[in-house]
Structure 1
Amino acid sequence: MNSTDQTPAGLLGAALATDAARPLVTYYDDATGERVELSAATLANWVAKTANLLQDEFAVERGDRVTLLLPAHWQTAVWVLACSAAGAVADLDGDAAAAAVAVSGPDRLDAALACPGDRVALSLRPLGARFPEPPSGFADYAVAAPGQPDAFAAYDPPGPDDPALCVEGQELTGRRLVELARADARQRGLGPGDRVMSLSGYDTWAGLSEGLLAPLAAGASVVLCRNAELLDAAGRAARVASERVTHFAA
């Protein structure tokens, strides 16, 4: 394992170097009909913009906690990887009151208000659209992020043994995250070119691993499905076929 791929952001860098154009995250919302496909290059671009937002606009430093009150979504994947790049600890479904920054979807704004620092709201509308009217006390991610630079360099680069993420109350270093993700990928038999369909949230290790980190560690890709309970069996089978899904994670 190289020193550069011992963090989630490092895994994204490896995917970018291997094949920047290949689809890495495909996202469906069956409540809205939305489908978004992000190549490694497009995902990396969003990660760079978000990491710059954290570092330059919100003055987040290495080790600061960023609470993510978000469902499994392509923008949540961006935030997890951006926190890793900036050296912040991504706290999935954590306590906003203990965070330097709280990031929330439209249904968790009340919980995010407990954050004493900066707060960011994501509309989770199709194509990453902005809120019709920004929530009071929050920066609108769709307004704040697009103008950030397309490349990112950390002022104080995180190391693999720094805390990188907290999920289900367990804090993990970047190195440990990558080890666990690679172990999960081996257990699932994932390899380069595989496509994992995930219906799980990102508030558990299993959901985060199967829906992002294990495929990333294996050189595979993920098809995230939100509100998939609205899809009937025929629709699900059609999606599996059209997306060339090789592995399924409920």
Structure 2
Amino acid sequence: MSPTVTEAVFAAVADRARPLLTYYGPGAPGAKRADPAIPAQRVGLSAATLENWSAKIANYLRDEAGLLPGDSVIVDLPEHWQSAATLLGAWWAGLRVVAPGDEGAGDARVVFTTADRLDDHPDAEELIAVPLDPFGGRVPGLPAFAGDFGDTVRPHGDHFSPSGAGPLALGGLSVNDVLARSAAAAGAAGITAGMRVLSTRPWRTGEGIVDHLLAPLVTGAALVWADPVAGLDLPAIAETEKTGLTLG
């Protein structure tokens, strides 16, 4: 059985109780700039918590949506802890993650996106609206054709038994391609195991996902990601989070 990207990520974790992914973003989901009156979101997830969310998503995709290793799923989301969990869940289920417009995107039966982009996916068999909420809350006012992220994935189990990986994991890249490129990007950035990395580098595209999200995670480092639109005090975050490397 071929290992998945997600298995490689969690295999690199030395202590599942310690923070693996910490997200800093605007105080309100969808905010375009910092508002001093609204505190920034900060959500810290241990490896165990991120693993639980990823398992719920993987269980939904396999057991409810009926996807099999090698099938495709569209993840049309900005950088957020829920986006990371969605990616890890899809890979754990052995799926290929594609972006809208990518080759093969038309074969994707499930789409994860935000409420303001639902109309961009009229042909989706299963359309899941992700709130980008600190606590994974509900998306208000959804049309009948869209499912709510929390309602859809939360009831599923916190543990997942993978069935292996499909031939492709991200766009045209295999699992081995993704892991090799992530490791190379980590080496180029000076990321090492056990490090805490503060980053504002984007990861909406396939290249960004490999170089800026997965590079620290597959190396055994923890990622603290700060949204650059939120106008955050990065030196203060670095001190608070005790990060050893800042990438911007």
Q: What TM-score, normalized by structure 2, do the two folds share? A: 0.87
Q: Residues 85-164 of structure 1 correspond to what in structure 2 (within 5 A)? A: 85-94=92-101, 97-115=106-124, 117-154=125-162, 156-158=163-165, 162-164=167-169
Counterpart of 2:238, as a letter, is: V
Q: What whole-Å deviation, never above 9, does each CA across 1:78-136 have from its counterpart, x for those lacking one?
A: 11111111111011344554311111012321112332x21111111231111123333
Instruction: State the Cα distance separating 1:210 from its structure 2 match.
Output: 4.0
Cα distance between partner residues in 2 of 1:126 and 1:74: 8
Counterpart of 2:230, as a letter, is: L
**2:245 pairs with 1:244:** no
Instruction: State the Cα distance separating 1:196 from its structure 2 match.
Output: 2.0
Q: Residues 147-226 of structure 1 correspond to what in structure 2 (within 5 A)? A: 147-154=155-162, 156-158=163-165, 162-166=167-171, 171-226=172-227
Which of 47, 56, 66 aligns to 1:49? It is 56
Work out whether residues 69 and 94 of structure 1, in 8 Å CA contact, stay in contact via their aligned partners in 2.
Answer: no
Gaps of 5+ in 2: 29-39
**2:21 pairs with 1:25:** yes
Range with bigger deviation, 235-244 or 200-209:
200-209
Q: Residues 57-96 of structure 1 correspond to what in structure 2 (within 5 A)? A: 57-94=64-101
Compared with structure 1, are the counterparts of its residues 236 and 135 closer, same or farther at alpha carbon in structure 2 (3 Å cutoff)?
A: farther
Work out whether residues 9 and 84 of structure 1, in 8 Å CA contact, stay in contact via their aligned partners in 2.
Answer: yes
Counterpart of 1:142, as a letter, is: G
Instruction: State the Cα distance separating 1:47 from its structure 2 match.
Output: 0.7
Work out whether residues 118 and 127 of structure 2, in 8 Å CA contact, stay in contact via their aligned partners in 1.
Answer: no
**2:240 pairs with 1:230:** no
Which of 3, 8, 11 aligns to 2:8? It is 11
Compared with structure 1, are the counterparts of its residues 136 and 97 closer, same or farther at alpha carbon in structure 2 (3 Å cutoff)?
A: farther
Counterpart of 1:122, as a letter, is: V
Counterpart of 1:50, as a letter, is: I
Counterpart of 1:114, as a letter, is: D
Compared with structure 1, are the counterparts of its residues 198 and 63 closer, same or farther at alpha carbon in structure 2 (3 Å cutoff)?
A: same
Work out whether residues 69 and 112 of structure 1, in 8 Å CA contact, stay in contact via their aligned partners in 2.
Answer: no
Instruction: State the Cα distance separating 1:157 from its structure 2 match.
Output: 2.0
State the identity %.
35
Aligned-CA RMSD value: 2.0
With a CA cutoff of 8 Å and minimum separation of 6, indicate the structure with the bigger relative contact order: 2
Instruction: State the Cα distance separating 1:243 from its structure 2 match.
Output: 1.5
Cα distance between partner residues in 1 of 2:115 and 2:84: 17
- Count of aligned pairs between the two proteins: 235
Q: What TM-score, normalized by structure 1, do the two folds share? A: 0.86
Which of 24, 40, 43 aligns to 2:47? It is 40
Work out whether residues 69 and 92 of structure 1, in 8 Å CA contact, stay in contact via their aligned partners in 2.
Answer: yes
Compared with structure 1, are the counterparts of its residues 110 and 97 closer, same or farther at alpha carbon in structure 2 (3 Å cutoff)?
A: farther
Gaps of 5+ in 1: none
